[in-house]
Amino acid sequence: MVVAASVVVAVGTVTGMMSALDDRARSDEAGPPEVTRSPSLQSPPIVPPPSPSATKSPAPASPSPTSASPTPKKKAGPTPSPTATERKQQPTVVSARLYRHPDSKVLAWVRDNAGDPRHAVIASRIAAQPAAVWFADFTPATITARVRAVTAGGSASGRVPVVVPYAIPDRDCGGHSEGGAPDLDAYDAWIDRFAAGLGSGDVIVVLEPDSVAQSECLSAAERADRFASLARAGRVLKAANPKARVYYDAGHSGWNAPGKQAAWLRQAGAASTASSDGVFSNVSNFHTTAAEIAYDRQVLDALGGPASLGAVIDTSRNGAGAPADGEWCDPVGRKLGRAPTLATGEARIDGYLWVKLPGESDGCRGKPGTFTASYAYDLAR
């Protein structure tokens, strides 16, 4: 979703070359890898559907797999503009501790398009960064092996992988990213198999984006059942690998009030160290790092758990903050955020992660979920 690159780019030169390019093309999109192969350490994980945590308004009809209208999420206003310090902290150095999985759509595009004038910028500023690996399909027979492929790669390289289980039933409330397990019993069994692939090394688990923040579409009873299943999931994951750090869905700073979000998170097990290491926010969204730091600390304070609980923030596309009109679908003018790292220098902020891979379209700049070079280039230059 990420080998450090040794390429040094003259961005102004590349920008000039770009003026003659259009978005035709074989060279502009890379779709998801084939997922029907037998699992092995080289098999790519399933890739996520488009922008699961984008702040949505009801969308017009699109060629999505479902004809149902997506349930709108709270439309967020803009966050404060990034500070001068934030603007200077665009990604330049790859973290020495986070893992970059060798199978991703951006890497496939980079391998296949060496002659594209956008290649050097995309390779050095996006493909070289470590990023999360999503598991968005319900495939119980292969999930253990595919998770193990990622965690084993991280252990072998001495780096920390970030994995995203994304198969909760009624995912995305019937929106663009709908899907998941058929019911909670099946989900619980899938999580057991997911946990079996975590190995014994350090690993970060971003547990089910949107599963808490977007639960208002469920009835009170359905929500309670989901939260019980999420609490169980955290316990299972941490029991399978005591080094696993599990983070729960806090939405983002433009969505639910901190107190409301914390109350739901408490029900979902996020306040207990038996199941949780804290919360995550801003997945697939655009709110500034400063806004998310303030919001996450408010959520953690309201959550009331032990002081050891922290937060991780998706900084992949938040370098310019959220758009003023609340647009969620590949909005123009966005930029890469801070480079992924586990050394933030901020109290209770455990990491800046790239959970949503920059350049993977929300469905407006390219087909949903595909890597779209024109979008990636605009984010990176």
Q: Determine what percent of the chain is predicted with pLDDT higher than 70.
A: 75
Q: How confident is the model at residue 363 (pLDDT cuts 50, 70, 90)?
A: confident
Q: Which one is catalytic: 210, 249, 277, 378?
A: 210
Q: What is the mean pLDDT of residues 321-338?
A: 95
**198-226 per-position pLDDT tens digit:** 999 999 999 999 999 999 999 999 999 99
CA–CA separation, 270 vs 292, rounded Å? 18
DSSP code at position 124: I
pLDDT of residue 83: 57
Lowest mean pLDDT among 70-74, 81-85, 145-149, 331-335: 70-74
> At 58, is the pLDDT very low, low, confident or very high (cuts 50, 70, 90)?
very low
Q: For residue 129, is pLDDT > 90?
A: yes
Looking at the predicted structure, is the pLDDT value of residue 322 above 90? yes
Active-site entry in 202, 249, 350, 362 = 362
Q: pLDDT tens digits, residue range 259-270?
A: 999 999 999 999
Residue 70 has pLDDT above 60, yes or no: no
CA distances from residue 262 to 12, 206, 252, 300 in whole angstroms, order as listed: 45, 17, 12, 7
pLDDT for residue 33 is more than 80: no
Q: How much is the pLDDT for 76?
A: 45
Catalytic residue flag (residue 314): no
Determine which of 50-64, 71-85, 232-246, 296-310 has the lowest per-residue pLDDT on average. Answer: 50-64
Going by C-alpha positions, the residue among 162, 97, 93, 100 that lies closest to residue 313 is 162
pTM of whole model > 0.85? no
* 271 DSSP assignment: T
For residue 64, pLDDT beyond 80? no
> Shortest CA distance to 131 belongs to which of 110, 103, 157?
103
- DSSP type of residue 341: B
Span 125-148, mean pLDDT?
97
Which spans in the chain are helix H? Answer: 11-18, 84-88, 105-112, 119-122, 143-157, 184-196, 220-240, 258-267, 289-303, 373-380
Is 330 one of the annotated active-site residues of the chain?
no
pLDDT value, residue 178 = 86
User: Which has the higher per-residue pLDDT, 39 or 241?
Assistant: 241
Asked if residue 130 has pLDDT above 90, the reply is: yes
pLDDT digits (tens, 9 = 90+) for 92-127: 455 559 999 999 999 999 999 999 999 999 999 999
3-state secondary structure of 29: strand
Which residues neighbour 147 within 8 Å (Cβ) at sequence distance 6 or greater?
A: 45, 135, 163, 194, 196, 197, 198
Each residue of 150-162: pLDDT tens digit? 999 999 999 999 9
Strands 29-30 and 371-372, how do they pair? antiparallel
Q: In the annotation, is 172 catalytic?
A: yes
From 116, 172, 202, 330, active-site residue: 172
- Summarize the confidence of residues 238-259 as an average pLDDT: 98
DSSP 215-261: GGGS-HHHHHHHHHHHHHHHHHHHHH-TTEEEEEE---TTSS-HHHH
Share of the chain above pLDDT 90, in %: 70
* pLDDT of 26 strictly over 70: no
pLDDT score of 176: 76
Q: Whole-number mean pLDDT of the chain?
A: 82
Segment 337-360 shows an average pLDDT of 97
| CB environment 93-126: b (16+ within 10 A), e (fewer) | ebbebbbbbebbbbbbbbeebeebbbbbbbbbbb
